[in-house]
Amino acid sequence: NAGVTQTPKFRVLKTGQSMTLLCAQDMNHEYMYWYRQDPGMGLRLIHYSVGEGTTAKGEVPDGYNVSRLKKQNFLLGLESAAPSQTSVYFCASSWGYSNQPQHFGDGTRLSIL
């Protein structure tokens, strides 16, 4: 079991460019989450999904879009990257409702110049 796999691990973008971060899990989890982590601010939820074909907004959704076309994959898109989106992005998954442990990927370090 690979668990939760995120690609890429590092990326540098120019302001205005677009990109997609991929999260894949092989644990047959229903729920998947995207967080961003900034110094001193902990983990903030961007978007999440409670099952294939569903998405919902978290605390800081502006500037991001997501899709969950397959149960095992959760994609995070930046349509027009801004320097404020420089961060470390973590994907997580869990079996079900909010009272289940979340399993995290290794993160993607994204820099926007």
Partner 1 sequence: GENVEQHPSTLSVQEGDSAVIKCTYSDSASNYFPWYKQELGKRPQLIIDIRSNVGEKKDQRIAVTLNKTAKHFSLHITETQPEDSAVYFCAASYSSASKIIFGSGTRLSIRP
Per residue in 20-48, is it b (16+ CB within 10 Å) or e — as a string? ebebbbeeebbbbbbbbeeeeeebebbbb
Interface residues with partner 1 (CB under 8 A) are 31, 33, 35, 40-45, 48, 50, 56, 58-59, 90, 97-107
* Minimum separation from the CB atom of position 65 to partner 1 (A): 18
Cβ atoms within 10 Å, residue 16 = 10
Min dist. Cβ of residue 100 to partner 1 (A): 8
Nearer to partner 1, 17 or 61 (CB): 61
User: Least distance from C-beta 104 to partner 1, angstroms?
Assistant: 4
